[in-house]
Amino acid sequence: MIGLISYLVFFATVASILAIAVLGLNLQWGNTGLFNGGVVAFFGAGAYGTLILGSPALEGQLGGFELAYPLALTGGMVAAALLAWAVGALTLRLRHDYLAIATFGVAVAFESLMRNAEWLAGGAKGIRGFERPLRAALGDGFLYNLAFLGFVLCLLVAVYLFLERLVGSPFGRLLRAIREDEDAARSLGKRPARVRLVAFVTGSAIMGLAGGLYASFYAFVSPQDILPVLTFQIWAMLIVGGAGNNRGAIMGTVLIWGAWTGSGWALSRFAPIEAQLYTGSIQFVMIGAVIVGMLLWRPQGLFPERLVVSQSGRSN
């Protein structure tokens, strides 16, 4: 029983962390119409940033700043935001798919950097040695995990409320206006590229927060945590929940993460040994099929928002 509950706590923690990243993506895609093909890079920048800033000195690696946890977490977000700013500033004025390609490229480059630069973040073996905050008070057991879940949930709610207010604010209306009719917005004296950049950087910082939480939850991060499939998973969560819909995004996260862990468990349990090697391939096909299938048959998601924001009209 306690085993099940502690598993549920674990599941809920990871799902909530991912939900934060999905909310960040929703600001970019759902509200602004920006395709981020490298979510994992911004998630990873947050994760690595947080651990590097918060960890004690490690031999042969950057680090030893030992910043307090909230500062380290913020630093991770700043790292993600800076990365987003650099990519966005270069691409957001150009044809829309440049951003998709550049973000995809950032993720590839980021993973290759983290895998190889031992001096920076330990290379393939990753960064370990982060002291979990408040560990002295809460210990290492179930209580700690429960408290951490509470902390993550608080942040999830905070991000949710922040985004809901943002979307309802004049800035949010501006985002939609630009997505619907860029020329009209420009003729009103708005600068679409700038507004998009703000939305892109904000969304990426939120992904960075998710990455920072993820890294501190495990007190460890390595290149294995920033594989490209994470980008696909987060996208699937968003499209299932319904782009533009924050509550749907959270539900989509729970659903997809549940399906992912559930299918992984079922395959490892029931599939013949020879097929075990292909668990990943089967799951990847499922994630890809979810994305394509949703686009074809239910582009508004399983939980359509009440206030429907139409996808922007076709250009040309």
Residues near other proteins, by CB under 8 A: 33, 35, 37, 90-91, 93-98, 100-102, 104-106, 108-109, 111-113, 115-116, 228-229, 232, 235, 239, 277-278, 280-282, 284-285, 287-292, 295-296, 299, 311-316
Query: In the block, which residue shows the tokens 């002291």?
Result: 131
Angle, helices 2-25 vs 229-241, to 10°: value is 80
Least distance from C-beta 79 to other proteins, angstroms?
18
Least distance from C-beta 35 to other proteins, angstroms?
5
Residue (2 or 277) nearer to other proteins, CB: 277
Residue (79 or 287) nearer to other proteins, CB: 287
Sign of dihedral through CA atoms 248, 89, 85, 120?
A: positive
Distance CA 84, CA 203 (A): 9
Confirm if 152 and 21 have CB atoms less than 8 A apart: no
Distance CA 185, CA 181 (A): 6
Region of residue 139 (left: phi > 0; alpha: psi -120 to 50; beta: else):
left
Distance CA 16, CA 234 (A): 12
Least distance from C-beta 296 to other proteins, angstroms?
6
Residue (36 or 216) nearer to other proteins, CB: 36
Tokens of 184: 């009209």
Least distance from C-beta 196 to other proteins, angstroms?
13
Least distance from C-beta 147 to other proteins, angstroms?
36
Least distance from C-beta 57 to other proteins, angstroms?
25
Q: What does the angle CA 310 – CA 312 – CA 316 come to, to the nearest 5 degrees?
A: 145
Tokens of 304: 């359509």
- Judged by DSSP in three states, 141 sits in coil
